[in-house]
Structure 1
Amino acid sequence: MSSTSRSKEIDGQNTDVLLQYYADRILVVVTQFGKVGSLIQASIPSTAPLLVPSDAPDADEDQLPQPPPSIQLTPLMGSAQSDHMHTLNSLYASQIATLVWLAEETLRPSRRNVVVGLALRRTDSETIPALIDVEKRTFVQIMGVVREALASQEDSSA
């Protein structure tokens, strides 16, 4: 069992990412409060294809891979306080699981379930369009921290 963690300040909030590897699944915790928060399990059939971001010359190097349509999200503990936050949590869990599966693809052919713990600052972007930009920026930065943690795990297992 191995683990990796990363911290970064994102929009004035200290954000921690922890990856914990188990034999049957991978736990990824993203927190701005120092706690696990809501837990969502992501699973996918081992035969489902993963779409790698385009290798086209004009493609953005930070482009995120598209989560597969066959992904299944199962809430394990905790619940979102609004429909907006439920959607946002599902987006985070899907994207994080996809990044994990792509990172593992070369190391381990079978896909373990990914359990994502989310404890993020709440916003009311449903009513204020400017906050939607903050959520997008936060999302992209958090995915960058997840990628850093995954890359450091790959380096340590090589």
Structure 2
Amino acid sequence: MLINSSQACVEIIDGIRTDLLIQPFADRIFVQITQLGKVGSLIQVSMPSTVLLASNGVSDSSGHALPAPPAALQLMPLFGSASSEHLRSLHSLYAAQVATLIWCAGGHTLGGSDRRSVIVGIALRRSTPTVEEGFDEHERKTFHETMRVLASMLK
């Protein structure tokens, strides 16, 4: 699998500018997702080479299919930290899905051929805090639109 350097600047939801960058290196792949113009939190995602990764997934409400991240993912915070448990969960969700998209690029099932670690930088605008658990509708829409743009950059 050959991943090329790529970047995009898009307005995701409510006109919020989101910058995306994919930069492959010999030993890792770096992906930056920022709405704040800075690196934010860095999370490394890796997976044992013995784990099979299927590129099929579940469709979201807009009909876009995202490959399901495998349970064997290993997330390691490298730099920066989220200010709340909610943001840590959101950043972990982004990192896991980004890495899975990278590994499934091209629609192939990977048995261990190119399983470079993925380092994800995430700096998102704060959403309105809600009392209920889980992610609010704005966070869900932002996540799905960001993943759609990232998937199109990988084609």
For normalisation by structure 1, the TM-score amounts to 0.84
Superposed CA offset, 1:35-86 (max 9, x none) = 111000000011211132259xxxx751211100000000000000100000
CA contact under 8 A between 2:103 and 2:114: conserved in structure 1?
A: no
Cα distance in 1 between the residues matched to 2:40 and 2:72: 25
Q: Does 1:118 align with 2:131?
A: no
Matched AA of 2:114:
S
User: Separation in 1 of the partners of 2:95 and 2:89?
Assistant: 10
Q: Secondary structure at the match of 1:49?
A: coil
The 3 A distance-change label for structure 1 pair 40 and 106 is same
My pick for the range that moved more, 99-108 or 137-146, is 99-108
Q: Does 1:46 align with 2:49?
A: yes
Percent sequence identity over aligned pairs: 47
Question: Which residue of 2 is the match for residue 136 of structure 1?
Answer: 140
- Structure 1 runs not aligned, ≥5 long: 152-158
Distance, in Å, in 1 between the alignment partners of 2:35 and 2:57 is 31
> Which 5+ residue runs of structure 2 have no aligned equivalent?
none
Equivalent residue for 2:84?
82
**Which residue type is aligned with residue 34 of structure 2?**
T
How many residues end up aligned between the 2 structures? Answer: 148
**Residues 126 and 49 (structure 1), Cα distance of their counterparts in 2 relative to 1, 3 Å cut:** farther
Per the normalisation by structure 2, the TM-score is 0.85
Partner of 1:156: none
- Measured after TM superposition, the shift of residue 2 of structure 1 is 4.8
